[in-house]
Structure 1
């Protein structure tokens, strides 16, 4: 009776092992099929890949930094221009006043 019980247990263990192996194979096939379907759906939706997104994000960050630097340069140049124009206005005003006096004297 002992050998009969061992034989049944051995067969049961073999059956469970085979079933586990088959389940893993089925799982791999299902994963592959799902991955293929998801990739097909994403490709049809024209979704951007991660690498492309990261590259564009980096370019945008560099552009924002460059924009900030250019805005600062423009503001500095505008301030210099305003200062130069501010200095030029009194000279023009003085010459206008002098020409107005000379016209009234004539």
Structure 2
């Protein structure tokens, strides 16, 4: 193996090692940031999307029920006046 070829082989290995170290550092940083963001979100006491959607559906149904009861009450009042 010639000196030039050995140099480039060593340089290639060094670059691969550097890329592996950089990738490991990136993953470690992502994990740390993700953990910090989860703590922040938990401290804010935010509502989960599923819970919000379920409550929204419940409120919608109750709104419809209230409107139906109002119509029934008005009809009852009209019948009461005519009697």
Greater Rg by CA: 1
* 1:15 pairs with 2:14: yes
> Which residue in 2 is equivalent to 1:6?
5
Task: Give the unaligned 5+ runs of structure 2.
Answer: none
Q: What is the CA distance between 1:49 and its match in structure 2? A: 2.0
TM score, norm. by length of structure 2? 0.77
Task: Note the aligned Cα RMSD (angstroms).
Answer: 2.0
6-15 or 26-35, larger mean C-alpha shift: 6-15
TM score, norm. by length of structure 1? 0.64
Runs of 4+ in 1 over 6 A off after TM superposition: none
Aligned length: 83
Q: Supply the distance in 2 between the matched residues of 1:31 and 1:53 (Cα, whole angstroms).
A: 28
> Which residue in 2 is equivalent to 1:35?
34
> Which residue in 1 is equivalent to 2:65?
66
> Which residue in 2 is equivalent to 1:98?
none
Task: Give the unaligned 5+ runs of structure 1.
Answer: 86-106
